[in-house]
Every structure is written in C-alpha cells, then in structure tokens.
Structure 1
Amino acid sequence: MPEENASAPLLEKVYHADCPGCKVDRWKATNEGIPFRELFYVWLVTLCTALPISSLFPFLYFMVRDLNIAKREEDIGFYAGYIGSSFMFGRALTSFLWGILADKYGRKPVIVFGVSSVVIFNTLFGLSTNFWMAVSTRFLLGSLNGLLGPIKAYAVEVSPKKHQASALSLVATSWGIGLIIGPAIGGYLAQPADKFPNLFPKESIFGRFPYFLPCLCISLIAVGVLVACIWLPETLHTHKETRDHISYDPLGASEDGSAFKVKDEQTERKKYPSEENLFKNWPLMSSIIVYSIFSFHDMAYTEIFSLWAESDRKYGGLSFSTNDVGQVLAISGFSLLVFQLFLYPPLERLFGPVSSSRIAGVLAIPLLSTYPLFSMLSGAGLFVVVNFASLLKNILDIIINIGMVILQNNSVEQHQRGAANGMSMTLMSIFKSVAPASGGALFSWAQKRQTASFLPGDQVVFFALNVVKLLGVLLTFRPFLTLRNEPPST
C-alpha cells in the first residue's frame, strides 16, 4: 500500500568524496532534469567521431581516379571499397580494448585520446599522395579512435534513468548527423581549386591536394572538441565498494512516486547469472549481432549511394557532382536532427525499441527497391525524389540503430557498460569493414552487367541491400533476440 511504502525506511547510498562517479550519482539523486551541459559534450564528441567516417564518400570516387590506381573506370568502385573498409577494419581490431580501458581507467582519458587521433590522422589522410597512404592513414584513424563505445556508456551514466533513452537518442542523433554532415563537408569542399579558383589557386596546397580542405575542416572541429573535453566530468567509480554495497537508483521510483526502489546488485546478478561473462549474456549478444547486421547494411548503403549517384547515366547512375551529393546528404542531416529531437522520443514510448526497429526495417525494403528507377527522372523532379528518399531512408535507419543501442545498454550493469559497448563496436566494426569492400566490389560488378536478363545493372545492388535488411528484421523476433527481462529460449 502507498502508506506502507511511504513509511518504510530508505536505504541511503554511500557516496565517496574522492570518487568522480559518486559526484555524478549525487547530482542525479538531487536533480531529475536533463543534464544539458554534459549531454552537449556528448553531442560534440559523438559528432567529432562520426564526421571523418563518411566524409570521404562524396569524393572517394574522384580521389581513387586521381590516385591512378584503377586501370578502368569500372574498377574505381573496387579500390574505393578498400579505402572505405580500412577505417572499420582498424576499429574492429581495437574497439574491445578501448572499452576495457574505459572501464579500468575512465571514460574521459579514452575520449580525449580518440579525439586527438582524429586531429592527427584525418589531416594526414587529406594529404595522401598514393593509394596505400590513404589506406594506412584511414586504418590508423580507425584503430586509435575508440570513442563511440565509451561515449554511449557515458551518456547513460551521466543521465537520470528516465532520461537515458533520450541520452542514447542524442548519441544516435549526433552520430547520424555526423554521418550526413561529414559527406556534405566532403562534397562541398573537395577540389576547391576547381570550384573556387579565386580563393584557392592551383599552385596552393589545396590545389596540389584537392581533398585536403574537407579533412582539415573536420580536424579543426576536432581541435575545438578536444578543448571542450577539459570540462568533461568523469563518471567511472574508483572505489572498491562500488560493486559490493546495496544501492538504489534515486530515480527508480515506484509508480505512485511514494518511495524509491532499492536494488541489491548481487541479487540482480543472481537473477541474471550470465551477466558477469558478457559472452554468455544472450540479451546483450543477440542485440549486438542484430545491430551489426543492420550496420553492415547502413555502411554498404552509404558507400553505394555516393558511387551510384556520381556514376554516369550510361551505367544506371545519376551523374551527380560532389556538390549534388553533399547537398542531398546535408538536407537529410538537418531532417534527422528535427526527427530525433521532436519525434523519436514519443515514437519510442509508443512502440518500444524493438517494435519501432521492426517497422522501420520493413518500410525500408520497398523504399530501396525504387532507387534503380530514379535514373529515369531528370531536373527538379529527380532532385525532389532523391532528397525525399534519402531523408526517409536515413530516418528509418536511425530508428533501428537507436533501438539496438538501448537494448545493449539495458543488458548490463554500469561496471560492464564500457566493455559491452566496446564489444558491440568490435563486432559492428568487423561488419562495417567488410561492407564498403563488398559494396564497392558488387557495384563494380553490377556496372559490367548492364544487359543481364536477371536484375541488370544497379538493380542487383539494391536487391542485395534489401536481402541484408530483411535478414536483420527477421532476427529481431524471438527466439533469436531476447530482452533482459525475458528468459532465453531453450
């Protein structure tokens, strides 16, 4: 009864004066509002992480051409895939390590080191003079950039429980915007000596290195984020009693709001005995696998979209310039921001992360099926249709990504969250490292079969993307995907 709950003694959590994690928990115990300042830092760091990942895609086609590695025009997509994959391959090798380091030494040191790597190696990529320099600088950028896993854990830990979904939505929003604005920067600022000869003469460094300017701009943004990290509070607990004492979530109130719930972490572990071993935590592992499959699709789509849009119409493309692709992606990025801030939270509350992901996955399949038809359009009609399709496709993808991230962070306790996100990043990066190479090879092969009787040209490319998306949707159902409060199927 409410009266009994109100009169029950409350167990107070012990706060340690020298523990940065306790300082954050004490703030959350007395403030139920949104931590705007901390989430602003989260937004900046996530944006800094996302910008260099796909900023190269609008100019990658032309960069490979200028590096003179491809002997035929149809082979450009093949070599572009290797440059696109090198970042994710590097990240796949080190993401789990960065998660462990974040759990041991704190989120902030890993975040600061990752931002510093963006400043250095993204700049060097823009100065690449040959194919192997481009591949190696992208590989080092990926392997030393362990930001995304720790920043997801940080977003959850810095937010009161009722705002954690919004915090993860903010991470996904900033990530999605970065993956859209990054290509917009790459598209508008690549080859400046050709586009703005009065500002950037052919003899200048930007004329000799036509893809340096967009990389330099992103590196300068990273410098600003690095300065902002000075005020980033640490959230990791540093005292030994963190995992042993009985504690309560100050915002885990009962439905009538009359009393706080008390949670014994050791009792929780008895309910979920496999949580200590992350590999045996099936709610976590199943959500990571589904997330990785959708990530493979998203990365392959990102690479293929730019290659397809910029390829000649005789190969089924749209003959877009880097400016055209950048403009399409910039419009999609702004729309993502509006959607995430105002529409996603009520959508998640209405359908939940799993159902909303399924709906988005199902809707994306017929949308992608229409892409090969766009080459039949021209002028303003083509511009409107491509922008609407890109906008809708990115919104559907971000709904799925946020849902999977929520499931992953709800599957573990705080002391394992960094490692869990690192594990997620590792598997996701493996899938994403394969995606650009696979997508580039598939795109190159498709351009050579324009007269095939079955799925000619680019039709086979978008058909393959739909097969991957369908597989991801099917795996969101039981018995594969299991939530934490559900027993695994036997």
Structure 2
Amino acid sequence: MTSTVTKNDEYESDSENENVELLDSSEDTEQHKPDDDQKAVENNLDKKPMTPIPMGGLIAVCFIFMTEGFNYCFLFPFVGFMIMDFGLAEKEQDAGYYAGQLAGCFALAQLFSGFVFGYVSDKFSKRKVFLVSCIGTSATMIAFGFSRSFGMAVLFRTLCGTFNGNVSTGKAYLADITDSTNQAYAYSYYGLTFGIGAIMGPAIGGLLSRPAKVYSAFDIPFFRMYPYILPCLFCAFFQIVALIMCMIFMKDKKDIVKDCKDDFVQVAQVDTNDDEQLEIEGPVLEKTQEDLLTTLKNAVYEIIDACSDKEVIITCTLYFFCSACDTMQEELFPLWSIIPSASGGLSFTNQTIGIYNTMQGILLLIQPTCFRYVAEKLGKLDTFRLGFLCVLPFTFTPLLNVVYNHAGGVVLWIILAIYCFFRMFTTMLTFTAVFILINNAAPHGKVGTVMGFSNSAGCIARAVATFSAGTILSYCASNIFTMHTPFFIACGLMSTLALGTSSRLSNSINELKNASN
C-alpha cells in the first residue's frame, strides 16, 4: 500500500513538473512572441514595395542630365590644341595653365547662377527654368565654337556656365517624384546619364574637333577657320532635344505653384487706409519698389536658413570633394596623356582620347544595377565611403607611363580598361550617394534651394580644381617632376579629407529628413 501511494505521488509529481515545464515554455513563447512579431513587422517594412515613378518625367530629366555632362566635358580633349591654335602655347605641356582658365570659367559662372536657379525652381516653375537654361546654353555654345581668340572663348564659355542651371533643378525635380523606397533607383540613373554625357562629350569633342586636319572630306575653308564648331553644334542640338522632351513629359509640382502664389499675394498687400501717404510718395512706383526689396530680402533669408543646417553643410562639403577630385581626373588625364611619353605622358592624340572616353561610356552601362545593389547592402553613407576608398589607388596613375614605355600599347590598353572600370565604379558610388545624402538632409520644401547651394559648392570645387591643377601640371612638365606626381597625390589627399568629413554624419542621413511630413 505504501509503495503504491509513493508511486502515485511520484506520478503526480512528474505530471506537475511536466505541466510546470509546459507552462514555462508557453510563457517563454508568449514572452518572445511580441519581439518576433516586431522583427517580422520591421522586415516587412524593409521590404516595402517601390513606389512607382512617372517614367516620362524620369526619362526627360535623365536626358537633361546627359546634356549637362556633355556640355561640361566635351572640350577637354581639344582644349589643349585650342590654346595652341590661339597662339598662347607652342608645346602641349605648356597649354595646361590657359586650359585650366578656360575650363574653370564655366564652373565659376555656375557658382553665381546655382543659387538663383535653385531658388527659382522651388518658388516658380521648374519647366520654365529648363526652358531658359536650354535656350541660353545652346546659343552660347554655338558662339563658343566660333571663337577666334582666347578672350572670346572665355567670354562665351562663361556665359554658357551662367545659363547652365539644369543640374540643380533636375535633382530637385527628382526629389519631387521620389521617396525613400525609390531613391536609389532614380538617382542611380542620374549617375548613369550624367556619366554617359560626360563620356560622350569628350568622345565627340575628340573625334569631331579639327575635322579639316583629320578627315579629308571636311578639309574646307569653313572648318579650317572654325575647327571646333562641330562638337559645339552637337551640344546645341542635344540641348534642344532635351528641352522638347522636358516640355512634353514634365509637370511641375502643384503645391510649389500654390506656395508661390500665396507668397506673392502676401507681399503685394497694401495698406489702403493710408491714402494721404500714398498720394505724397507715389502709390505705384514706391510700393512696387518696397515689394521688390521685401521679396529679395525674404529670398535671401530663405536661402540662408535652408543652407545653414549642419547636415546640409556637411553633405555639400562632401560634394565639394567629389567634384574637385573628379574634375582633376576628368580634365587633366587628357592633358597629361597628350604629353610625349619621354616627358612622362602617353603621347595620345585627340582621336585616341576620344576612344578612351568611349570605352568609359561603355563601362558606365553597369552603373544603375551596381549602385542599387551596393546601397541596399551598405546604406547610402557607407556606399559613399566605399567609393572614396576606391579613389585612393588612382594616386599611382603616373605608372601608366612606365607601362607604355616598357610593355607596349596592347598591355597599356588592357590596363586602361581595368583603370576605366574602377574609375567609373568610384564615380558612380560617390556622386549618386552624395546626391541622395544632400536630398535627405534638405529641409522640407527647400530641396531646390539646397541643390542650388550644393551645385555652387561643386562649381567652386571645379573652378579651383581646373585653375590649380592646370597650373600644377604645367609646372611639373617644366621641372623635375617628370611623372607629374604632385597632381595625382592631390587627388589622394582630397579622398582622405572626404572620408574624414563623412565621419561627422550619422546613419540617420540614409533616410529622408521630411519623410514623415
């Protein structure tokens, strides 16, 4: 009897223990269930489907970006020959100083017009900004092709830069039609199309410049007198095509127009009770002057307020480094490559430079897919940092001269293909990422103004890079630096500064600041 009770007690005790274990496991399950649900919700949010983008507007603005890259870079292959045709230099290595001035005046003019185009695109119509910019750029580009002196070339290149405000306006338009789900997709096409333009421009500039000396069919007095008109006509043609596409497919954001109207109604209010004072001071003229001053003052305050944000300043500084480093490589590689190999260059002709740039354009086609993949894995900020880490090896570019002198042309072109791939890869990562970071840092409703500010920062960088780098290259060519290493070391130093500056940003910059608005 005793043993039976003991067994029953043991059985009941085991049952109770099992029940306790089951209760504990169920409690653990219930305790961890909310966390699992939260993780599932977060994963679902991370996999949120991409918002559709108006493809007509995206294609039109991408064509605008392509023409902008074309306009900026098309003269790089022949600017050294242009300087020699003007009689300012006798040798290729002596043309860098004047070539830097001619290329830099374009960016210097954009410095002052960038703010204006950015602010106007926020307050008025982006389509009208594109209209004025495309027509003005086309006219001044053709005039540049007819330049017969260095002074004329500088004048028309400066005017061309003044009218060339489509970059900041186009990036502001992208901000209007995108959100956090489709940013990487849309902005990757900016990098692709601007890059294609930046490659097509030098390719066409190199292949079509000085046609009377290169192609017997074009050996006529007109092309002997104006050897650089053909690439300029191509630039003007692309601008007109871009304008037509913009007018057909683009639409302005309605709330910007509404805000613009409300602002002007508020500014134009008049105190009708003060009749006597109006009669004395002149009611129409002086009130109009007051309204104009008030509008200008408010515009200045709005620009300062939008551009004084800490994240805006840091991201625009990063764009400064991007522009400076890219410009030094984009402009001075052709100038360096035409220097004879015995003096440290590659003995390239303008046609060879055109082939090199065409190769870069082909490699650009992988850009959009590549950027989206890297950005999804690393985030936009770390993608930017990876891009500048990859810039550092370009410090060793002068070693291509050693390859040319000892290994021959075939090996050189194989290495140049690898060089081009990494050049396009770094350009795609840095520029596309920094544009998204600038957009994410911009205050609500001020994207165009901030893009204009960033464009001005980029213009300062391009102007400084072209003026200083051209001088450095000319100095190196006439002194002991036979491989022109100071110029390439400068690119490496700027990359290091960009990486250090990016450490001031937190990962919150990967998302839109105004996403909740």
What TM bracket, shorter-length normalisation?
Answer: 0.7 to 0.9
Q: CA deviation at 1:85?
A: 0.1
The answer on whether the counterparts of 2:180 and 2:511 sit within 8 Å (CA) in structure 1 is no
Look up the equivalent residue of 1:300 and give its one-letter code.
M
Q: CA deviation at 1:73?
A: 4.7
The answer on whether the counterparts of 2:144 and 2:152 sit within 8 Å (CA) in structure 1 is yes
Is it true that 1:324 corresponds to 2:348 in the alignment?
no
**Aligned-residue identity in percent:** 25
Q: CA deviation at 1:72?
A: 5.5
CA distance in 2, matches of 1:459, 1:275: 40
Is it true that 1:361 corresponds to 2:378 in the alignment?
no
| Residue of 456, 466, 469 corresponding to 2:495 | 469
Superposition RMSD on alpha carbons, in Å?
2.6
Q: Which residue of 2 aligns with 1:153?
A: 172
Q: Which residue of 1 aligns with 2:343?
A: 315
SS of alignment partner, residue 334 of structure 1: helix
Structure 2 unmatched ranges of 5 or more? 1-33, 35-49, 263-301
Aligned residue runs from structure 1 range 1-400, under 5 A? 32-70=51-89, 73-198=92-217, 200-203=218-221, 205-231=222-248, 232-237=250-255, 238-240=257-259, 277-340=305-368, 342-377=369-404, 378-400=408-430
Q: CA deviation at 1:105?
A: 1.1
Look up the equivalent residue of 1:363 and give its one-letter code.
C
- Paired residues, number: 423
Which structure 1 residue ranges, 4+ long, deviate > 6 Å from structure 2?
479-482, 484-487
SS of alignment partner, residue 379 of structure 2: helix
Q: CA deviation at 1:40?
A: 0.4
1:49-108 deviations in whole A, cap 9, x for unaligned? 221101000011111111112255542110000001010000001100111111111211
Q: Decide whether aligned partners of structure 1 residues 325 and 184 sit closer, same or farther in structure 2, where only a CA change above 3 A counts.
A: same
Q: CA deviation at 1:164?
A: 2.3
CA distance in 1, matches of 2:398, 2:206: 21
Is it true that 1:478 corresponds to 2:490 in the alignment?
no
CA distance in 2, matches of 1:155, 1:371: 38
Q: Which residue of 1 aligns with 2:439?
A: 409
Q: Which residue of 2 aligns with 1:270?
A: none
The answer on whether the counterparts of 1:331 and 1:391 sit within 8 Å (CA) in structure 2 is no
User: TM-score, length-normalised on structure 1?
Assistant: 0.81
Q: CA deviation at 1:348?
A: 0.7
SS of alignment partner, residue 138 of structure 1: helix
SS of alignment partner, residue 509 of structure 2: coil
The answer on whether the counterparts of 1:155 and 1:167 sit within 8 Å (CA) in structure 2 is yes
CA distance in 1, matches of 2:438, 2:117: 17
Q: CA deviation at 1:166?
A: 1.4
Q: Which residue of 2 aligns with 1:263?
A: none
CA distance in 2, matches of 1:226, 1:396: 30
CA distance in 1, matches of 2:511, 2:304: 16
Q: Decide whether aligned partners of structure 1 residues 129 and 106 sit closer, same or farther in structure 2, where only a CA change above 3 A counts.
A: same
1:295-329 deviations in whole A, cap 9, x for unaligned? 11111111110101111112200011111111111
The answer on whether the counterparts of 1:275 and 1:412 sit within 8 Å (CA) in structure 2 is no
Structure 1 unmatched ranges of 5 or more? 2-30, 244-273
The answer on whether the counterparts of 1:95 and 1:422 sit within 8 Å (CA) in structure 2 is yes
User: TM-score, length-normalised on structure 2?
Assistant: 0.77
Q: Decide whether aligned partners of structure 1 residues 72 and 108 sit closer, same or farther in structure 2, where only a CA change above 3 A counts.
A: same
